[in-house]
Amino acid sequence: MPGYPALPGGIAYGGDYNPEQWPEEVWHEDVRLMREAGVNLVSLGIFSWGLIEPSEGVYDFDGLDRVLDLLDSAGIKADLATPTSSPPVWLRHRYPASRLVDSAGHVIAGGSRHSFCPSSPDYAAASARVTERLAARYARHPAVAMWHVHNEYGWANAHCYCETSAEAFRDWLRDRHGSVAALNHAWGTTFWGLSYGSFDEVEPPRLAPPGLLTALQLDFMRFSVDAHIANFRRERDIIRRHCDLPVTTNFMIPNCKPMDYWRWAGEVDVVANDHYLDAARTDGHIELAMAADLTRSVAGGRPWMLMEHSTGAVNWQPRNIAKRPGEMRRNSLVHVARGSDSVLFFQWRASRYGAEKFHSAMLPHAGTDSEVWREVTGLGADLRRLADVRGTRVEAEVAVVWDWESYWALELEWRPSVDLRFRERVEAFYEALWREHVTVDFVHPSADVSAYRMVVAPSAYLLTEASAKNLHRYVESGGALVVSYFSGIVNENDTIHGGPCPGVLRDVLGVSVEEFHPLRESGTVSVARPPSRPPSGPPSGPPSGPPSGPPAGSPSGPPEPAPDERATGRIWSERVRLAGARAVRVFADGPDAGHPAVTRHELGAGTAWYVATALDAELRGLLAEALDQAGVSRPRDLPDTLEFVRRGAHVFLVNHGDEPVTVHGVTGVGVFDGVGHAGAVTVPPGEVTVIRA
């Protein structure tokens, strides 16, 4: 499989380039300014299908030829796209069966991208033809460094409910289940007497009365992912017949819920991701770090590509807040710190018309006499100094479980509480770990986790027996597992595991749950330490992995609470019964007063923790306790405004606060200023310092 694209200058820098929006004389100015900014890679041709094939079977490559030759003359490489995310207008009119249909049966109009059915044979044939022509023409062009298939699969057409999709879904079900009897068993269709007599009777989960079979919905989501992957494979394989350059597509991790990126990961030569801050969030830098860690994890720990982000405001949020001075640099370098070997933007030059004319760009409407342009050129210089970061890896001692299928299943209708949200708990645990300066990987629950000192499962509602056994073996072998409430409840078909909850996690956690007690909106419960607390056992951790024991220094995080100090829980409470575990926190009031709220279970050589309510501020202290007992190393005595990440021989220090921060225990040379540091580095407010050890 081809590796990361070969590029001059180390870290890839640039963005989406849409020269078709401008007269040709502007192209020469673009290339001159790209060189000034340090751009070495642009994504080209993403929305050009209607230009290079203006009518079916009629091709015009003259403009693309000239642009590629111009880029090559300037030493700028192209990530050349197949333009198949935005079919030409003629396709939907000549082939009306290719149009996208929503769950209510409405045919979705054109005038935007992604307005096609992913299962359409007409779309498949047309997209294959244009890909073949592109690959044959440009496979050996010296400017082409890699290929970019489609754009943001699942953005607007994750699911189609037309009859073509329905037939494809039935074929998919035949392959998955084998017989209609097996399908009925898996889906539990005896409930409400909804058994099928043949696969031909199955409909997609179109608009229906409440209570639609949840297993049907889950299988349709899986089918839809496979339909998009099949489209990608078709184009990728055409390209591979012509050349051996890397082929990718741009994911939207973690913000495209319908796409299961664990299933996508093995299809691309290099994982690429688009990430945009939610301007409404004041903690956007933490969500950015989570997205970068998750993307690196989908890439299997290998370097990945930041294919799109923004220099400033985007155009599609309710309030498109511009980034403050220095924020774009911080955002970009955090992605690099957490494994990206590229910093690419949407887009190079701001558009004057169309849906994204108010989207920021590397070259803004204000031109080169602007703060944005000065930051763009400054970042280009920084990335050239970081060239030797390329190819290095980020190591983590803690893993967080993330499963898209569990995400889908948890958020179907008629769960015990509308406040049960997959990302709500994942982000709560991630934020607590981030503030503890712990770098994490994300893992599928079936993955080999033996190298990690701690595994955290914040939201594992859907968990197969095989995945539960995997976590059980991990703990028995010396690992530390932390599980949050409403986990281990159902199997892959949304069928509740036999016996009391938490189902397949009962044995590893050493608890059972008699009854769920979701809280009212804004309701809370108090959590306290038990009246007497037996001494903790010795720290335990997996037999392999990084050296055990935290570095010298006082513990990070909030101080240990006094025995009578209470924490607050939200969203959830439940009647926990001990079955081998011991209570380390109890509910002090509410429906489960006096019963365990947090438990710890010694199993084999390891430990399993269970948290039965939504702790917020107090969650960090609890995790710090578990991290210390698991021997997880991390920096100490740092404010949680300072982001600390090691990548290879480089230490990235990002100050998100308004005061300077001195970091002790760091020795090396500053990458950006060449200054040597012997044991301490002071990072100014809003700045990024990178030290090469």
- Which range (147-151, 429-433, 560-564) has the least confidence? 560-564
Q: Which residues contact 269 (CB under 8 A, 6 or more apart)?
A: 1, 2, 3, 146, 246, 247, 248
**Residue 232 contacts by C-beta under 8 Å, 6 or more apart in sequence?**
149, 150, 153, 249, 267
pLDDT digits (tens, 9 = 90+) for 617-644: 899 999 999 999 999 999 999 999 999 9
Task: Give the CA angle between residues 221, 226, 231 to the nearest 5°.
Answer: 130
3-state secondary structure 179-232: CHHHHHHHHCCCHHHCCCCCHHHCCCCCCCCCCCCHHHHHHHHHHHHHHHHHHH
Q: Which of 119, 130, 113 is nearest to 168 (CA)?
A: 119
Residue 535: the pLDDT is 44
Place of tokens 């935005």: 86
**Residue type present at position 435:** R
Tell me: pLDDT of 559 over 60: no
CB contact at 8 A, 261 and 253 = yes
DSSP code, position 668: E
Q: Rounded to 5 degrees, what angle do the CA atoms 390, 393, 398 make?
A: 155
Q: How confident is the model at residue 616 (pLDDT cuts 50, 70, 90)?
A: confident
Q: The tokens 């959830």 sit on which residue?
A: 572
Label residue 554 by pLDDT band (50, 70, 90): very low
Neighbours of 484 (CB within 10 A): 24
Assess whether pLDDT exceeds 50 at residue 400.
yes
Backbone angles phi, psi at 670, to 5 degrees: -65, 125
Q: For position 387, what pLDDT does the model report? A: 96
Angle at 540 between CA 538 and CA 541, to 5 degrees: 160
Q: Which residues contact 99 (CB under 8 A, 6 or more apart)?
A: 92, 107, 108, 110, 115, 116, 117, 162
- The answer to whether the beta carbons of residues 14 and 392 sit under 8 Å apart is no
H, E, C per residue of 105-139: CCECCCCCCCCCCCCCHHHHHHHHHHHHHHHHHHC
Distances (CA, A) of 641 to 228, 250, 526, 568: 40, 30, 28, 24
The total of other beta-carbon atoms located within 10 Å of residue 10's CB is 18
- The rounded distance, in Å, linking the Cα atoms of 186 and 612 is 30
Burial class of residue 377, CB neighbours in 10 A (0-12, 13-18, 19+): middle
CA 596/CA 582 separation, integer angstroms: 8
Question: Considering only CA atoms, which of 446, 488, 442, 443 is closest in space to residue 608?
Answer: 488
> CA quadruple 117, 122, 128, 129: dihedral positive or negative?
negative
- The reported pLDDT for the residue numbered 5 is 76
What integer pLDDT is reported at residue 536 of this predicted model?
Answer: 45
Q: What string of DSSP letters covers 279-343?
A: TT-TTHHHHHHHHHHHHHHHTTTS-BEEEE--SS--SSSSS-PPPPTTHHHHHHHHHHHTTBSEE
- Which pLDDT belongs to residue 452? 98
- What was the pLDDT predicted at 557? 43
Contact between residue 255 and residue 102 where contact means Cβ atoms under 8 Å apart: no
> What is the pLDDT at residue 82?
98
User: Which residues form the catalytic set?
Assistant: 152, 308
pLDDT value, residue 565? 79
What's the pLDDT score for residue 4? 73
pLDDT beyond 50 at 550: no
Place of tokens 């760091």: 666
Per residue in 470-508, pLDDT tens? 999 999 999 999 999 999 999 999 999 999 999 999 999
- Average pLDDT over every residue of 237-253: 98
Q: How far is CA 237 from CA 232, 241, 267, in A?
A: 9, 6, 10
Residue type at 626? Answer: A
pLDDT band, residue 1 (cuts 50/70/90): low
Q: Using CA atoms, how far apart are residues 307 and 250, in angstroms rounded to an integer?
A: 7
Q: pLDDT digits over 307-326, tens only?
A: 999 999 999 999 999 999 99
Question: What residue type is assigned to position 198 of the chain?
Answer: S
Sheet containing strand 342-345, strands side by side: 247-248, 144-149, 77-82, 41-44, 12-17, 342-345
* Number of C-beta neighbours around residue 565 at 10 A: 12
Strand boundaries in 375-510, DSSP class E: 398-401, 440-443, 454-457, 480-484
Per-residue confidence (pLDDT) for residue 548, from 0 to 100: 38
Q: What is the pLDDT of residues 183-226, one digit of tens each?
A: 999 999 999 999 999 999 999 999 999 999 999 999 999 999 99
> The tokens 């985007």 sit on which residue?
314
State phi, psi for 66 to the nearest 5 degrees: -65, -40
User: Mean pLDDT for the chain?
Assistant: 94
Burial (0-12, 13-18, 19+ Cβ within 10 Å), 190: exposed
SS3 579: coil
CA distance 625 to 614: 17
Enter the tokens of residue 641: 């405004």
Dmax (CA) for the chain in angstroms is: 81
Task: Give, in degrees to the nearest 5, the angle at Cα 623 between 621 and 626.
Answer: 115
Q: Using one digit for the tens of pLDDT, what is the confidence trace for 351-385?
A: 999 999 999 999 999 999 999 999 999 999 999 99
Residue 9 banded pLDDT, cuts 50, 70, 90: confident
pLDDT of residue 564: 54
Give the pLDDT of residue 10. Answer: 87
Question: Considering only 249-253, 356-360, 553-557, 581-585, which range has the smallest mean pLDDT?
Answer: 553-557
DSSP letter at 551 equals P
- Position 2 scores a pLDDT of 73
Mean pLDDT of 517-521: 97
